[in-house]
Chain A
């Protein structure tokens, strides 16, 4: 085992993919000579050359659209979108081409693209640098969407995403790039947990708390805090946002009877609603209370000095837990401090 940051773990995963399959090419803005603005591709151009790690012109549609052509040619492109909020110029190519070409070609053309997207807030950045656009892609048939939350998963999941014959949107929690964890760099991919399955981060009996990306760590902290308060939270790291591993969530909710879903993305049309609907369909008779969403507000991502009022944090997650438990909470009208 090796202690690596999440960013370095992805770097190692990319390195292993590049080394094991010469059809893998990395494309993106500033990913070559600079090593990416977050240094996730650091050293890879020097090691594999400019035709394997390609600095591209500043055009997201261009990057994704040429990656489509490369996939036609049999390549396995790994595309970096520099920041979440920059993905929209490439949205058409992703939704109208990448997602549909396998279907359109009746299975003849595979689109094994991986689109890496540093996502989410909490880094005090400028506009368009802190967004959570995952629901757009989870809504799109033909795409797979995953989000990693820790170095060990990141190392394995990036390789699984690249090896997948389906296009994968790979969301990286940018504010956790520097969080360290133990990674087994020799682990066999064949034995690894499939990226479509969720992971139980903490076992608990009272409430099921589902989240992904950067909030997994926040949720784990919330579980620790709640335990001191006598509440046992089961934390699930969703990992795959499309498809969703309902079996794991349902198994938990059938025990706890209570569900909270947390994400940085806004509430309306977000994954929280989808997960709650899916679980309600499957587990209605087991639910003890209406499931609760703890999400970003339905606002454009706010300026840096306001982002702590937007992002779900430990206290807001615990407030959601109180709500699903029927305890005094922000919606029950009890004054702060009274609980």
Chain B
């Protein structure tokens, strides 16, 4: 059975099927359907996935620290979701296009987004940190689920152009209650749009448990829309890679969208402004700590005879360097010029805004002159 064989795989999600290729303790689990999709992942490739995850975990911790130190206004940590993001993003081609929410820092890392670009928004210095077309990744979406429609429309365009590239929409379990996400499912299915809907079910939408969003596994939502749903261990980077490759393959073959539910956990707060102690228990956190996405890869590498200790040391050093680079980058982000507040509202000249801009420039200039005069007077007095 090949995964793109619609009759064999069926469009119906198998509710009991939870794709896991590496157990939490690092045992490789055979899966005849998914194994072929990661047959190329040798020890070196697995080590590279570990490296990605370790570095983004360190970058994420550093960004949280930068927020605590007042260098960032806010930071939404990804801790715990490294495998879901790295596994899916490493399945993408450069010409695929990513539409994400605000927590996909690891995806951005995979798309080559630089440290200053990553932090610009969270420092409050600009409305976005990177040019979407340089990284084939839209800038973060704050409205929950809105990007699912953008990914779908983009994919419709890819298909109409005859491209075999795909798009991927990242959103969370909370977003599955939004109209936009459900409407995206309808459009994607109707137009066979080459889009992957990648849910990171991290169990919590700020304080609301996933049970408030859905009475059944989110992957099963796919059935009603006429697309396949895959429920995958989101803390298993190998399984996520396989599932995303399958979905992308379907998309490239013109078979339309796939819904992936990556079951993971947000180990940290929703953002640095959140206090998860108010809504979840230490026991729950401890339980999820035993399913850590990094530890299992290290254990698997050790079991296959790789020098896991050396790798861990090596990668830790790389991660430290990346964190230092991130820390150094934050102060290089320029403070915006006051008049730039008017920039890019419109692509074309706009008489109304031009007038407002001119008025405000004159207002600012008035104070500049006052300041200059005041400092001049002070200077004279001295």
Docked Cα-Cα span, A68 to B143, in Å, equals 14
Q: Which residues 123-175 in B have Cβ within 8 Å of A in the complex?
A: 126-128, 131-133, 138-139, 143, 146, 148-158, 160-161, 167
In the bound complex, residues from chain A placing their C-beta under 8 Å from that of B154 are 69-70, 72-73
Docked Cα-Cα span, A106 to B132, in Å, equals 10
In the complex, the chain B residue whose C-beta lies closest to that of A247 is B351
Would you give the 0/1 interface string for A105-118, flagging 1 where the beta carbon is closer than 8 Å to chain B? 11111101000000
A106 touches which one: B344, B348, B353 (CB < 8 A)? Answer: B344
In the bound complex, residues from chain A placing their C-beta under 8 Å from that of B313 are none
Contact in complex: A105, B128 (CB < 8 Å) = yes
A166 touches which one: B133, B146, B149, B347 (CB < 8 A)? Answer: B347
Contact in complex: B153, A142 (CB < 8 Å) = no
Interface size on B (CB < 8 Å)?
43
> Lowest 7 CB-CB distances: which A-B pairs, in order?
A69-B153, A65-B149, A66-B153, A73-B157, A243-B352, A69-B154, A62-B183
B180 touches which one: A61, A112, A166, A243 (CB < 8 A)? Answer: A61
Contact in complex: B180, A93 (CB < 8 Å) = yes
Q: B184 at the A/B interface (Cβ < 8 Å)? A: yes
Q: A59 at the A/B interface (Cβ < 8 Å)? A: yes
In the complex, the chain A residue whose C-beta lies closest to that of B121 is A104
Docked Cα-Cα span, A335 to B186, in Å, equals 59
A65 touches which one: B184, B348, B353 (CB < 8 A)? Answer: B184
In the complex, the chain A residue whose C-beta lies closest to that of B340 is A106
A62 touches which one: B133, B167, B186 (CB < 8 A)? Answer: B186
In the bound complex, residues from chain B placing their C-beta under 8 Å from that of A196 are 351
Q: A1 at the A/B interface (Cβ < 8 Å)? A: no
Q: Which residues 23-44 in B have Cβ within 8 Å of A in the complex?
A: none
In the complex, the chain B residue whose C-beta lies closest to that of A244 is B352
Q: Which residues 33-74 in A have Cβ within 8 Å of B in the complex?
A: 51, 56-57, 59, 61-62, 64-74
Contact in complex: B351, A142 (CB < 8 Å) = no
Central interface residue in B138, B161, B187, B344, by most chain A CB within 10 Å: B344
Q: Which residues 165-211 in B have Cβ within 8 Å of A in the complex?
A: 167, 179-180, 183-184, 186-187, 190
Q: A103 at the A/B interface (Cβ < 8 Å)? A: yes
A-B contact pairs, 6 of them (CB 8 A): A61-B180, A65-B150, A92-B180, A93-B146, A93-B149, A243-B353
In the bound complex, residues from chain B placing their C-beta under 8 Å from that of A96 are 143, 146
Contact in complex: B156, A70 (CB < 8 Å) = yes
Contact in complex: A102, B347 (CB < 8 Å) = yes
